[in-house]
A = this chain, B = another copy of it.
Amino acid sequence: MNIHRSGTFVMPFHRMAEKANGGRVYGLDRHLAHAFLHAIGNPPLRLILWDGREISGKAASSAVGMVIHDRGAFWRLMINPLLHFGDDYSAGRIDIEGGLVQFMETVYRSMACVPKFSRKSDPAAYRRNQPSLNSLSGSRRNIHHHYDIGNDFYRLWLDEEMLYTCAYFPDPATSLEDAQIAKMDLVCRKLRLQPGQTVVEAGCGWGALARHMAKRYGVSVKAYNISHEQIAYARQRAKTDGLEQRVEYIEDDYRAIDGTYDAFVSVGMMEHVGPDHYRELGSVINRSLKEQGLGLIHTIGQNCSRPMSPWFLQRIFPGSYPPTLREMMMLLEPLEFTVLDVENLRLHYARTCEHWLERFERNLDRVQEMFDEPFIRAWRLYLSGCVANFNIGALQLFQVVFSRHSNNRIPWTRAHLTSSAGEL
């Protein structure tokens, strides 16, 4: 069995057909199942076939099982597991026993040890499996696909302020609500915001951070986003909160940012920019940051350049790509920005996604009123996959603070991160 670097299995179809023709389908299924388990590194996983047969790998005990309801799903899994597992799970033709998160952690950990699933950085990783890259129009399509499916849906499982990015838990037991506020404070302190300053935000989601900065730190914010639904919500909230004078939400691409500011901030947008456009983002920052300004980029990242799975890119987040730190430097190095601070909040994102998944399941009744079963199963798979990928270290969360190289009014130590100096 050959495996392409993108994870596609190339099956020896002629041999499969021969065996089937010889009437040994029963043995073939078993053979294929073992070959499949071997190819993904023999994880402690049971495969339960449509007729009740159970095939286990070499591992002694298997806490998790994959129930495959028909031979079509089984064969599709062999051909391109990274695409068809997601689709057939969504369609209910595959089920998981023992917990979806545990299943994915088990399988991903195992696959990571298989040399064939190359762990080497792939310079073309961003382009692989992408339905649509992030040009101005491509970005609009990609963002619309995910973020415009309905604010009411997101309200069911996000926190009250609708933050859809990694929270910061001072303690693992902190509530999601408090952890999102702690995250916003962490960002504001890293930027050392002072009353009267101006901030530009690239990719503002439903606008919570912009409102928080204005309300708690006394700054004026221009916040950009190309999601129509999110901007509409953000504007409404700013009006309700009486922040219209200090927060301006602009429905436009980050590439349209103009003016100069004391701080540049982007939380959870760089994942949607794509390495082809890092230099463009860099030049936007370069033209908008004042001489003594500070910048912060908060983004999902990874340790090596690897493509996201085709299922994730086609069904969940088209155009997305989490950069490595080296790739983030492609943005900062050509413009001589100085990196002041990098913090990795990987385990905080696993915890955040656990909260989201928990709330999603808790509000399942209401989700079912909005969406059909395949959507719900796809979303469950997506959120569970996020928990698993952050837990096993396949994804990271980088907060990078930077300044111009000539700026000596940078923080002397990190003492400002724990004080509430700039807060109102």
Contacts and interface: CB of A to CB of B under 8 A. Distances in A.
Contact of A339 (B172, B344, B412): B344
Contact of A393 (B172, B303, B405): B405
Given A329-B326, A334-B121, A336-B303, A393 B407 contact: yes
Contact of A405 (B303, B326, B413): B303
B414 A304 contact: no
B121 A170 contact: no
A120 B279 CA distance: 14
Given A326-B329, A342-B342, A347-B412, A337 B393 contact: no
Contacts of A338: 303, 344, 346, 393, 396
A341 interface: yes
A415 B20 CA distance: 62
Contact of A334 (B120, B169, B343, B405): B120
A119 interface: yes
A418 to B, nearest CB: 7
A77 to B, nearest CB: 26
A344 B341 contact: yes
**Most chain B beta carbons < 10 A, residue from A109, A330, A336, A414:** A336
Contacts of A393: 338, 405-408
Nearest to A340: B344
A251 B325 CA distance: 34
A132 to B, nearest CB: 27
Given A341-B343, A342-B342, A406 B418 contact: no
A34 to B, nearest CB: 26
Contacts of A121: 333-334
A129 interface: no
Interface in A367-393: 391-393
Contact of A410 (B347, B391, B392): B347
A204 to B, nearest CB: 26
A407 B391 CA distance: 9
Contacts of A288: none
A156 interface: no
Interface string A394-411: 101010000001111010
A56 interface: no
Contacts of A172: 412
Contacts of A414: 343, 414, 417
A308 to B, nearest CB: 17
A324 interface: yes
B325 A329 contact: yes
Given A119-B336, A393-B408, 4 more contacts: A325-B325, A339-B396, A347-B410, A391-B408
Top 8 nearest A-B pairs (CB, nearest first) are A342-B342, A326-B329, A393-B405, A303-B336, A340-B344, A303-B405, A326-B326, A393-B406
